[in-house]
Amino acid sequence: MQANSFLDRVKIYVKAGKGGDGCLSFRREKFIEFGGPNGGNGGKGGDVILKAEPNLTTLQELAYNPHIEANDGAKGGTYNKFGLGADAKIVLVPLGTVVKKDGAVIADLTAAGQEIIIAHGGRGGRGNQSFKTHQNTAPRIAEIGQPGEEITLVLELKVLADVGLVGFPNAGKSTFLSAVSAARPKVADYPFTTLNPNLGICTHKGKSFVIADIPGIIEGAGKGKGLGHQFLKHIERTRVLLHLVDPAGFGGIDAVKSIKILEDELKTFSKDLAKKPRIIVVNKADTSGAEEVFEKIKNKYAKLPLFLISAAARKGLGKVLDETVKTLAAKPVKAVKPAQAGPVVHAIAPVFTITRLEEGRMQITGKKIEEFIAMTNFAQPQAVERLGKIFKKIGLEKALLKRGVAEGTTIIACGKEFEWNGGFGAEISAEAERIGGHGARESKAQRLAKRKARREKKKGLKL
């Protein structure tokens, strides 16, 4: 594995699919006098789903493609044809991926095939056949599809393994991993050979377990020195720690002192990490002074399992693996208990919020308000009229009057500007005229006057 190929933290930008627009259509067939509306609804936009995949080991693919978008739903059609809903966009991530939004964990994908919807697709807009009533048998209104959710997330990968190999650089962790498994990490006689965690599957006496070779930890790693936090987080999920020790020490620190330093680093990073079962393994038994160092460590750490091995010569590995299997059996994977039902607390967000801006302007915010506006086609007078009625029904008009809205006040909502003229009907109609060029729906008197003018014009042409 190349030094730059292991990526364990990425930021992604997710956008779910928009719902399809509803259709505005009327049935027109020969000899059928009253066809009625037959515009179908739009299809649902595609969701974005994260799915845990055991065969992935890094977040490299997402680092190269951080912008993720699902497809939009199809538009509704004539003859009550509903638009096709878009398929979900499934994004594969490695096991052990933690999903964070604004620093808070919203998901922890630890099981193969585990899924979470991180962005919901918008619902399809309703066609005019959905708005037909006894009072309005020929509605000229169809909704625009609801926009899909947009969200920015941070994904962090924490390696899933049963056993974590820890120790100072040059302790022989990579050599040990290659000796007990089929893994072939890079092995060399210089510090910091391993720059990324390596995984290997070890089978011993009919028992299989995963071992993670964590890059060498140095003094101060628990406080983030070097790449401390980047590597220490990968052993948080392990059940047992194999602490490999070089009899010659490292960087002027003798072998006995190096054990205490690593203990302190584990405690500094996480108290839970320091409580994990630990097996001390003195490596390089074939070097001079190894047995003497082993006896010193044995006197000081008598309560911990302690072994003297040579990973390069494949000596003493069996006893270490026996103890590892025994410790793993005594530390089984905790079964996740289903959460007990407790009192349900519903947080009710306000439907809208009114904020005074500079120059006497007012801003209206709120998820529902923005949804109403986004799904309104301002080129359709009936749709505009309906939006005004909704605003009045939810109490927005009354709330603005209480806040002292004055004639001519500019009201900003969902990126659109309205001018207050005593009520929402007038200023929304003005917005419709500006956007769609149709204006408000004509009154009955206006329609009759236009008909009369057309009849008189026809009479004049005949004469």
255: left (phi over 0), alpha (psi -120 to 50) or beta: alpha
- Three-point CA angle 29, 35, 38, nearest 5°: 100
Helix (H) or strand (E) holding 300: helix 290-300
pLDDT score at 226: 38
The single-letter DSSP state of residue 360 is G
Confidence band, pLDDT 50/70/90 cuts, at residue 186: low
Q: What percent of the chain has pLDDT over 90?
A: 34
Average predicted confidence (pLDDT) for the chain:
82
* Cβ atoms within 10 Å, residue 110: 15
What CA–CA distance (Å, rounded) separates 112 from 47?
Answer: 20
CA Rg, the chain, in Å?
34
More confident residue, 451 or 398: 398
Give the model's pLDDT for residue 60.
84
- Number of Cβ within 10 Å of residue 180's Cβ equals 24
Sequence ranges of the domains in the chain: 9-157, 163-330, 353-449
* pLDDT for the residue 235: 76
The pLDDT score that the predictor gives to residue 442 is 53
Q: Does 221 score more than 60 pLDDT?
A: no
DSSP, res 180: H
Reading the block at residue 189, the tokens are 């006689």
CA 374 to chain centre: 24
pLDDT score at 347: 66
Q: Are strands 97-101 and 104-109 parallel, antiparallel or unpaired?
A: antiparallel
Q: What is the pLDDT of residues 283-326, one digit of tens each?
A: 989 888 889 999 999 998 888 999 999 998 999 999 999 999 99
Q: What is the spatial distance between Cα 50 and Cα 107, in angstroms, rounded to a whole number?
A: 10
Listed in sequence order, the DSSP H helices in 394-443 are 396-402, 424-436
Q: For residues 166 and 262, is the Cβ–Cβ distance under 8 A?
A: yes
- Give the fold, CATH level 3, of 163-330: Rossmann fold (3.40.50)
Model pLDDT, residue 420: 81
Choice among 4-18, 118-132, 163-177, 323-337 with the minimum mean pLDDT: 323-337
In tens, the pLDDT along 422-434 reads 766 544 544 555 5
On whether the 353-449 domain is CATH 3.30.300.350, my answer is yes
Please give the CATH topology (third level) of the domain spanning 9-157.
Spo0b-associated Gtp-binding Protein; Chain: A, (2.70.210)
User: Distance (Å, rounded) from C-alpha 248 to C-alpha 285?
Assistant: 11
Beta bridge partner(s), residue 12: 153
- Beta-strand ranges (E) seen in 325-415 are 353-356, 362-365, 410-413
Neighbours of 49 (CB within 10 A): 17
Which among 172, 147, 330 has a CA at the least distance from the CA of 243? 172
The residue assigned the tokens 């006098």 is 33
Residues whose CB falls within 8 Å of the CB of residue 401, separated by 6 or more in sequence, listed in order: none
CB contact at 8 A, 258 and 163 = no
